[in-house]
Chain A
Amino acid sequence: MSEPTPPARELRIPSLARVEGETALHLRIRHGTVTEARLSIYEPPRFFEAFLRGRAHTEPPDLTSRICGICPVAYQMSACRAIEDACGVVVDGQLAALRRLLYCGEWIESQTLHIHMLHAPDFLGEDDVIGLSRSHLEHVRRGLRLKQTGNAVVELLGGRAIHPVNVRLGGFHRAPTRAELRPLEERLRTALDDAWDTVRWVAGFEFPDAECDADLLALAEPGTYAIESGVPTVLPYAATPPPYGFPLRDFTDHVAEEQVPHSTALHSRLDGRRHLTGSLARWAVSGHLLSPLALEAARAAGLGDPPSRAGTGRGEACRNPYRSILVRAVEVLYAVEEALRIIAEYERPARPYTEVPPRAGTGHGATEAPRGLLYHRYALDGGGRVTGARIVPPTAQNQGAIEEDLRRLVQAGLDRGEGSEAELTRLCERAVRNHDPCISCSAHFLELDIQRTH
């Protein structure tokens, strides 16, 4: 080349706003080409997997809830399932229904938080929910009301919305009476209208074209939209391999975490490929199992039909990360409906929990956190002491796909002539928030700033 090489341009966004936890972005651009997009997580290591060792088998549900204040129920549910699996106990009937109800509460409040407080401001040119409340007060009020209803479900079943105290191995410390659940019904009926209105509202947003070329991974459960249990199921991006599932006990054989030099985080690969978990993946894997009402809302929102498992060729996955807000809104509607259904069918169980006597073994548990598939594995000794713990949170799995998404979106932005630092910063922040990353979830993310030399 005869021209002198211009210096590589670097863009750093030191602290990313409106995400849960702390992260920074680092882009490197050479000759108008994005050569690197890096999500640097500076959430400090907190060593959960290490200090869980030596604890009693009853403790991980309370301890791991502290990994994330936004989805503590997800941690409690994945931990319970993994330890119960190790001890050979299956929780079913009304206790399983109560767990799903608790999880619906978390879905409602957490997804609503993301929709209204973190994500919607991007579509409406506002900095935050306070700005949004000036321009769209009615919508913010509705969001706060919905979120409060989700919190009310978690508070009634769990004692409090953040780090609930009522969850234990085998079920709950105390199961509510039917009468105690009744006041929730009225709130949830109002929430059903609010959730519908939210779907209509977000459906009116303007969605830039984008496509994420990652495999989609979510749990699948026969006959129901998987939330608190299921089999890991993959919808690959490419035509081959065809969609497939694998036993949960083989999770870490398929989803391999590695420490990579260009990022501070542990990255996961799904059978060697980039993958995404979360709302878009759930819609792709289980969308056809949503309720008729939720499917109607999805169609009205422009999502069309979800991929049909029956192989009729109808429907398609949504791979536009901007549209994840639509799927979240539909999931809130579904969770409200599910909560109403569970309450209507509720009979107080004779005992609030099933005994989970310890035994030596290894157990696996995975549930659908609002942000995606959350996997736990525990090894126990005969006395019930934890001898090993492994936690694979959704954000750790999504990071590779998020970085690739960032690279493509910034490249498209540059190609459109959006080259200013402010424009690119805005674009990147939006791109990351599309995926609703939960950084403190990433219990073993860490800070590192190494320049890549190749």
Chain B
Amino acid sequence: MSTPTPPQPPARPRLGVFKLASCDGCQLTLLDCEDELLGIAAELDIAHFLEASGDIAPGPYDLVLVEGSVSTPEHLERIRRIRADARHLVTIGACATAGGVQALRNYADVEGYLAAVYARPAYIETLATSTPVSAHVPVDFELRGCPIDRGQLVEVITAFLAGRKPAIANHSVCFSCKRRGNVCVTVAQGTPCLGPVTHAGCGALCPTYGRGCYGCFGPAGTTNLPALVPLMQRDGMGEEDIARFLHTFNVTAFTAVEEQAQPGTADAEGPG
């Protein structure tokens, strides 16, 4: 996090958990910390966490976790209010960090989408895009994943409490896969896999279960996407298949990396 050890920490830092457009899975990850949950509750004053408690206290909050993407006019207002109330703002998950799966609308005709889902689309208030929180307000740290990883969430909270930067590796899924001792699904089976360009955090789950990584943690800090494309083509994917493969759970993030990943800039830092 941005500030080093605070000089006089308050009795218990106040935590706020907020949600925009999302599935609730990343907030649920906090409730899934069964072994750590009561410990976290002892260290932090959970001042705002609607999914878990009706006991809501107003801000400011020392640490705010935001789940979900900005997808309605009301969200634009809400995310500014949340930021104003937050000493540290951490986005949790692919929606808050990259717009989420609902950012697929960014490439489509939203009017057409509305008409497909609703009989009377004029009732619906929505933005034509689903965007990450960082497109609207400053973000102190972005935690990736669809959903986020429990261990990484505990690390972010622990680091906050200790006043240090979270130790979240920025490397690709391939590193985790090797560490796990997996046989490479692309090399051995010709299975298309986004592991080489995807941010670590899941523990290389998909290759461990015999399938290719589908990129739910978004782009790794350093990637060379153009180098992966011929491999995917070799393994039978057409241009359209590759586009769909990349544009699913972190639509905007991989797009951004593709744009950056020109020769000579392959080591550009990903957002966050």
Does A pair with B? yes
Identify the A interface with B (CB < 8 A).
15-22, 42-47, 49-51, 53, 55-56, 59, 62-63, 66-70, 72, 113, 117, 127-131, 133, 140, 144-145, 147-148, 151, 159-163, 165-166, 168, 172-174, 258-259, 264, 266, 352, 429, 440, 444, 446-448
Distance A440 CA – B130 CA, assembled complex (angstroms): 16
Q: What residues of chain B have their CB less than 8 Å away from a CB belonging to chain A?
A: 19-29, 31-32, 34-35, 37-38, 41, 46, 50-56, 71-72, 74-75, 100-102, 104-105, 108, 110, 112-114, 116-120, 123-126, 130, 146-147, 202, 205-206, 208-211, 214, 216, 241, 244, 248-249
Q: Which residues of A contact B116 (CB under 8 A)?
A: 47, 49-50, 53
Write the nearest CB–CB distance from B206 to chain A, whole angstroms: 5
Q: Which residues of A contact B72 (CB under 8 A)?
A: 44, 447
Point out the residues of chain B lying under 8 angstroms from A440, CB to CB. 22-24
CB <8 Å contact, A51 and B51: no
Are B206 and A159 within 8 A (Cβ)? Answer: yes
Nearest 8 A-B pairs (CB), nearest first? A69-B25, A128-B53, A17-B54, A127-B55, A50-B113, A51-B104, A144-B34, A46-B102
Contacts of A159 in B (CB 8 A): 205-206, 208-209
25 contacts between A and B (CB under 8 A): A16-B50, A17-B52, A17-B56, A18-B52, A18-B53, A46-B102, A51-B101, A66-B249, A117-B52, A127-B55, A128-B52, A128-B53, A128-B54, A159-B209, A163-B216, A165-B206, A165-B214, A173-B210, A174-B210, A174-B211, A259-B120, A444-B117, A446-B118, A446-B123, A447-B125
Q: Is the CB of B105 within 8 A of A47?
A: yes
A47 with B102, Cβ < 8 A, contacts A159-B205, A174-B209, A259-B123 known: yes
Smallest Cβ-Cβ distance to A54: which chain B residue = B244
Main secondary structure of the interface of A (DSSP, over half): loop
Q: Is the CB of A50 within 8 A of B24?
A: no
Cα distance, A49 to B205, chains bound together (Å): 27
Residue of B nearest to A257 (CB): B119
- Return the contact of B244 from the options A56, A147, A148, A264 (Cβ within 8 A): A56
Chain A nearest Cβ from B140, distance in angstroms: 23
Residues of A within 8 A of B117 (CB): 45, 47, 49-50, 444
Is the pair B55, A128 in contact by a Cβ cutoff of 8 Å? yes
> Contact: A258 with B23, CB < 8 Å?
no
Using known A-B contacts A130-B53, A163-B216, A259-B123, determine if residue A44 contacts B71 with beta carbons closer than 8 Å: yes
Known contacts A145-B34, A258-B119; decide if A165 and B205 are in contact (CB<8 Å): yes
B147 and chain A: residue at smallest CB distance: A162
Complex-state Cα separation, A129 to B118, whole angstroms: 37
Contacts of A128 in B (CB 8 A): 46, 52-55
A-B residue pair count with CB separations less than 8 angstroms: 187
Distance (whole angstroms) from the CB of B13 to the closest CB of chain A: 15
Looking at the complex, which one of B51, B75, B113 makes contact with A47 (CB distance below 8 Å)? B113
Do residues A448 and B123 form an inter-chain contact, with CB atoms below 8 A?
yes
Asked whether B71 lies within 8 Å of A51 as measured between CB atoms, the reply is no
Across the interface, which residues of B come within 8 angstroms of A43, CB to CB? 21
Inter-subunit contact A68/B23 (CB<8 Å): yes
CA distance A440 to B108 in the complex (A): 22
* Residue in contact with A162 in the complex, picked from B28, B37, B108, B112, CB distance below 8 Å: B28
Q: Would you call B53 and A69 a contact (CB within 8 A)?
A: no
Report whether B206 and A133 are in contact in the complex, using a CB–CB cutoff of 8 Å.
no
The interface residues of chain B lying within 8 Å CB-to-CB of A63 are 101, 248
Q: How far is the CB of A291 from chain B (nearest CB, A)?
A: 26
Inside 8 A of A51's CB, which chain B residues have their CB?
A: 101-102, 104-105, 108, 113
Report if A69-B24 is in contact (Cβ < 8 Å); known contacts: A17-B50, A47-B113, A145-B34.
yes
Residue of A nearest to B100 (CB): A66
Question: Given the complex, which residues of B lie within 8 Å of A46, measured CB to CB?
Answer: 21, 71, 101-102, 130
**How many whole Å from A336's CB to the nearest CB in chain B?**
16
B41 touches A55 (CB 8 A): no
Q: Which residues of A contact B101 (CB under 8 A)?
A: 46, 51, 63, 66
Residues of chain A lying within 8 A (CB to CB) of residue B53: 17-18, 127-131
Are A166's CB and B209's CB within 8 A? yes
Whole-angstrom CA separation of A429 from B54 in the bound complex? 9
Cβ contact within 8 Å between A130 and B46: yes
**Knowing A44-B126, A50-B113, A131-B55 touch, does A117 contact B25 (C-beta < 8 A)?**
no
List of A residues within 8 angstroms of B124 by Cβ: 45, 446, 448
The verdict on A21 contacting B118 (CB below 8 Å), with A173-B210, A446-B124, A447-B125 known, is no
A259 with B25: CB separation less than 8 A:
no
The residue on A at minimum CB distance from B107 is A51
Determine the residue in chain A with the shortest Cβ distance to B45.
Answer: A130
Question: Could you say which residues of chain B place their CB within 8 Å of the CB of A446?
Answer: 118, 123-126
Query: For B210, what are the chain A residues with a Cβ–Cβ distance below 8 Å?
Result: 173-174, 352
Q: How far is the CA of A16 from the CA of B56 in the complex (A)?
A: 11
User: From residue B55, how far is it (CB to closest CB) to chain A in Å?
Assistant: 4
Residue in A56, A266, A446 with the greatest tally of chain B CB atoms within 10 Å: A446
A161 touches B41 (CB 8 A): no
